A and B are shown apart, each in its own frame.
Chain A
Amino acid sequence: KAGVTQTPRYLIKTRGQQVTLSCSPISGHRSVSWYQQTPGQGLQFLFEYFSETQRNKGNFPGRFSGRQFSNSRSEMNVSTLELGDSALYLCASSLLRAGELFFGEGSRLTVL
């Protein structure tokens, strides 16, 4: 059974650019969550999607957005990148909203 797949794994951007990260959940999983991990702030919740609807959003500025498609795949977008957006972005999927989360390998974003 394939796990959660995130692309790209690594990327380098410059300030002011935008970035789109993709997440393919485990087959059959309908809930997708996104988390940001940094050395300073640790793991922080970004958003949760279920049935193509954003159900919950963390305390991040509007530059951070996302969406979920009918096949449960999800994307997140960060616009007008700042140096502080450099982080590991982790996607997790679960069968149900209250279920165990399975994480992908992450997308490591570096903003120069």
Chain B
Amino acid sequence: ELKVEQNPLFLSMQEGKNYTIYCNYSTTSDRLYWYRQDPGKSLESLFVLLSNGAVKQEGRLMASLDTKARLSTLHITAAVHDLSATYFCAVDKESNYQLIWGAGTKLIIKP
């Protein structure tokens, strides 16, 4: 059974600091996704990672994928308050277009 684990589940940090969210999954997968969710809102797609060694960056966020280690990271550089949200990773279950989700990392960035 495919399981997706994120850590930490909660992160409170100061503006200007760097931090990394980790996403581990238990079986092989072709695609890994990162999404952001603001309170009471829907899910916003951040990154789609398709191959081993893939790295994508958008602003202060950078995501990477190591399929051999079954690990993806979401790195936040010089955090700003606007990045406060819950971040989810999701993995495509055996390429059958069914996403299995991590529990989410609630990120609070204090000014």
Contact = CB atoms under 8 A, between A and B. Distances in A.
Interface of A: 31, 33, 35, 42-45, 48, 55-56, 58, 90, 92, 97-98, 100-106
B25 interface: no
Nearest to A104: B42
21 contacts: A31-B97, A42-B103, A43-B88, A43-B99, A44-B101, A45-B98, A45-B99, A45-B100, A55-B97, A56-B96, A56-B97, A90-B43, A98-B31, A98-B92, A100-B33, A100-B48, A101-B99, A103-B35, A103-B42, A103-B45, A105-B41
B90 interface: yes
Contact of B42 (A45, A98, A100, A105): A105
Nearest to B50: A98
Contacts of A31: 97
Contacts of A102: 45
A53 to B, nearest CB: 13
Contact of A101 (B30, B45, B102, B104): B45
Given A98-B92, A105-B42, 4 more contacts: A33-B97, A58-B98, A100-B33, A103-B44
B90 A43 contact: yes
A22 B101 CA distance: 23
B43 A48 contact: no
Chain A residues touching B, majority SS: strand
Contacts of B98: 33, 45, 48, 56, 58
Interface in B74-111: 88, 90, 92, 95-104
A29 to B, nearest CB: 13
Contacts of A35: 99
